[in-house]
Structure 1
Amino acid sequence: MTHHPQRHAPQLRIPATYLRGGTSKGVFFRLDDLPAAAQVPGTARDALLMRVIGSPDPYAKHTDGMGGATSSTSKCVIISKSTQPGHDVDYLYGQIAIDTAFVDWSGNCGNLSTAVGPFAIANGFIDKARLPENGTFPVRVWQANIGKTIVCHVPIANGEVQETGDFELDGVTFPAAEIVLEFIDPADEGEGEGGGSMFPTGNLVDDLEVPGVGTLKATMINAGIPTVFVNAADIGYTGTELQDAINGNPDELAMFEAIRAHGAVLMGLIKHVSEAPKRQHTPKVAFVAPPADYTASSGKRIAAGEIDLLVRALSMGKLHHAMMGTAAVAIGTAAAIPGTLVSDAAGGGARTAVRFGHPSGTLRVGAEAAQVDGQWVVRKAVMSRSARVLMEGAVRVPADTLPG
């Protein structure tokens, strides 16, 4: 057998940083470091990022890539100098499907948003003269997928990003420095029914008809990320479930996907349920219940008295191990608006913050809502997360990954 050297070119070497942000982790790139073909959206970029992560992987293990074979760990981020006035960086996020050849660019990752601030500072996107010697620095991030501003308040010690600290985040094993995230005007102001309000149907609660499941009460909100909320009791759950109760059951997962797909149509995100497989990242589907005692995945006991409500959410077709940051924005926003299913589960009434129980523990998110000309508006949602550089250097991908 003849050996053809040109068929076996050296791997491409691409500068990258592997970061944890909140309860997610992903591979971060500076736009300028990507091969030219991948510096613009399209098939070359998608092919590159899939190969970095190790997708599509029929074994669903990501053994030959940087992914972690879960929706929380199958993510890539591209950071560039901001194109928007008054912002420091543009942040573009790709959710990489695990067993199919697909990159979903339709939404944001709220957890990885936490890591964008530290990455921007460490990679020279912020003029050193602007940084305090000690204190916090507000990195103004333009979230390019959804056209929103996120302010990432990064702690600074001795002129550098402070990563270590004693802030504990349920779903993350070790403590780190606290980073406060502000999601500015998190509701969608796009076109469509409801005048571009955060409730695309114009209603706080709708009757959602799902063939084979029934007609469910649903709150469909577009804040942080489009989310369909249903009551746990209406679909046979308590709201205290952990991943194992749902993720091994194809029938249950199919039910959630049906709810998600029919909700997506009512929200105007897709025209027909058949389009749902090509839009996996959005909307999310979640179920809510009043507070109850439960044991978190770590074994920690969560008492009903510690929380305002229970929420479980699915991401990329599986029950999430904690809570997506963007869905937490949706939860906080919906909880602030009396009459939504989320507000009802928390006991009703107006509130400016909510602490909810998720499979890994609890999370507090603040949001203030007001009615303007009969429409609900939320100016910002706030939550605390943490982030840490796990590894930096370069990723390698075979040279034939890129077409041409």
Structure 2
Amino acid sequence: MSTFAPQQKIKASYIRGGTSKGVFFVLDDLPKSARQPGAARDALLLRVIGSPDPYAKHTDGMGGATSSTSKTVILSKSDKADHDVTYLFGQVAIDKPHIDWSGNCGNLSAAVGSFAIENGLVDANRLVQDGICEVRIWQENIQKTLIAHVPMSGGAVQETGDFELDGVTFPAAEIKIDFIEPSGDEGDVLPTGNVVDDLEVPGIGTFKATFINAGIPTIFLNAADIGYTGTELQDAINNDADALQRFETIRAHGALKMGLIANLEEALARQHTPKIAFVAPPSTYVSSSGKSIAASDIDLLVRALSMGKLHHAMMGTAAVAIGTAAAIENTLVNLTAGGAAREEVTFGHPSGTLTVGASAEHHQGTWQVKKVSMSRSARVLMEGHVRVPLG
């Protein structure tokens, strides 16, 4: 008679942050073999999420079978000066045994501060009884600082409130996130040195493109140049296999031009970064919830793809890139938004609108971004233990 090992229980929380959901762990709660990067950690987290899943449903795991809901987070008390917590993010592929550790998740960043407070990762003398607690986060993937402004009431994190975020069904407490000097370590905010480049993609065409390295490396195109209006919802693109393959080919060539990969084949193992997005001037449209978005309420339209599919709203890190590009004169994003110098931009995405603030300066021939800010919300959906088969 065959014998099978029991499941192991691992303390975890299932949390919504912004328009994403993920499974959160404290580093020391993981099995010892998974407390450092490597195959053991990846195998564990893949099994938690339920990947790879040839059915693309994540029926036997905690994932939601979309890029927004196939995420893992590992937090630990920070040993870095002037930081409270270290935050590591893993984007889990749905159809293959792969976790991409190359970038941050801006949406889940909104939940990091709350989770850190509730799990004792923030020193008690830094907490407030009532008001806003500033949690200093070291984002390990991109080696950058985030500041979460977490509301507290009666000495506990306040999760309920009346802040509404397009792409999230119910209101919650507002959490402001500051992305400090968000340009990545892989290059300047403009990795090619140009505000606009010609991106040649053999067999597809040559396109005007702005490459931004802030929040997350992002390739911006003009919607009209690739046959879109900028008002598209998910089904218009995600049900078109040819379109998705075309976007992936463009993304791979853009990654090569940004210097993120050495050859096109490397793009296959780097699905999380860079992102690809397209922009268009303001236009009235109906969001995925049926809400009418007026052209007069936005500065431009933006659609972005994540893990090979059009995102249902907007990735938080891509929003940082949008805010950065809008603040830099003559990028495609800036020109589409009207071309004027600005420190704030409101854009339309498939689920509604989002406003992002950014501060950019042109100094000694290069652009520098000091801070990008946006408001999100977060809520613990469940906490306790996940169970994972041993072996």
**Contact 2:77/2:122, CA 8 A, preserved across alignment:** no
Quote the offset at 1:69 in angstroms.
0.1
Quote the offset at 1:275 in angstroms.
1.3
Which residue among 350, 363, 387 is the counterpart of 2:378? 387
Residue 104, structure 1, aligned to residue 95, structure 2: no
Residue 242, structure 1, aligned to residue 233, structure 2: yes
Name the structure 2 match of 1:118: 114
Residue 357, structure 1, aligned to residue 348, structure 2: yes
Q: Matched residues in 2 for 1:155 and 1:274: separation?
A: 45
Residue 348, structure 1, aligned to residue 339, structure 2: yes
User: SS where residue 26 of structure 1 aligns?
Assistant: strand
- Residue by residue over 1:20-44, the C-alpha shift from the partner in whole angstroms, topping out at 9 and shown as x without a partner, is 0000000000000000110010000
User: SS where residue 237 of structure 2 aligns?
Assistant: helix
User: SS where residue 220 of structure 2 aligns?
Assistant: strand
Name the structure 1 match of 2:87: 91
**Contact 1:13/1:395, CA 8 A, preserved across alignment:** yes
- Residue by residue over 1:246-284, the C-alpha shift from the partner in whole angstroms, topping out at 9 and shown as x without a partner, is 001110001100110000000000011121111000000
Residue 13, structure 1, aligned to residue 9, structure 2: yes
**Contact 1:189/1:198, CA 8 A, preserved across alignment:** no
Q: Matched residues in 2 for 1:265 and 1:127: separation?
A: 43
Q: Give percent identity, aligned residues only.
A: 71
**Contact 1:22/1:112, CA 8 A, preserved across alignment:** yes
Quote the offset at 1:197 in angstroms.
1.7
Q: Matched residues in 2 for 1:98 and 1:36: separation?
A: 25
Q: Matched residues in 2 for 1:370 and 1:189: separation?
A: 18
1:207-218 equivalent positions in 2, closer than 5 A = 207-218=198-209
Which residue among 32, 37, 49 is the counterpart of 1:36? 32
Residue 61, structure 1, aligned to residue 52, structure 2: no
**Contact 2:143/2:185, CA 8 A, preserved across alignment:** no
**Contact 2:144/2:181, CA 8 A, preserved across alignment:** yes
1:294-373 equivalent positions in 2, closer than 5 A = 294-373=285-364
Counterpart AA for 2:173: A
Name the structure 1 match of 2:142: 146
User: SS where residue 85 of structure 1 aligns?
Assistant: coil
Quote the offset at 1:380 in angstroms.
0.3
Name the structure 1 match of 2:217: 226
Quote the offset at 1:189 in angstroms.
4.0
RMSD across aligned positions (CA): 0.7
- List 4+ stretches of structure 1 deviating above 3 A: none
Quote the offset at 1:129 in angstroms.
3.1
**Contact 2:356/2:374, CA 8 A, preserved across alignment:** yes
**Contact 1:230/1:286, CA 8 A, preserved across alignment:** yes
Q: Matched residues in 2 for 1:286 and 1:188: separation?
A: 18
Counterpart AA for 2:66: T
Quote the offset at 1:126 in angstroms.
1.4
Counterpart AA for 1:331: I
TM (normalized to structure 2)?
0.99
Unaligned runs of 5+ in 2: none
Q: Matched residues in 1 for 2:191 and 2:295: separation?
A: 32
Name the structure 2 match of 1:276: 267
Q: Matched residues in 2 for 1:45 and 1:11: separation?
A: 16
TM (normalized to structure 1)?
0.96
Unaligned runs of 5+ in 1: 191-195
Number of residue pairs aligned between Structure 1 and Structure 2: 391
Counterpart AA for 2:348: G
Residue 202, structure 1, aligned to residue 193, structure 2: yes
Name the structure 1 match of 2:129: 133
Counterpart AA for 1:60: A
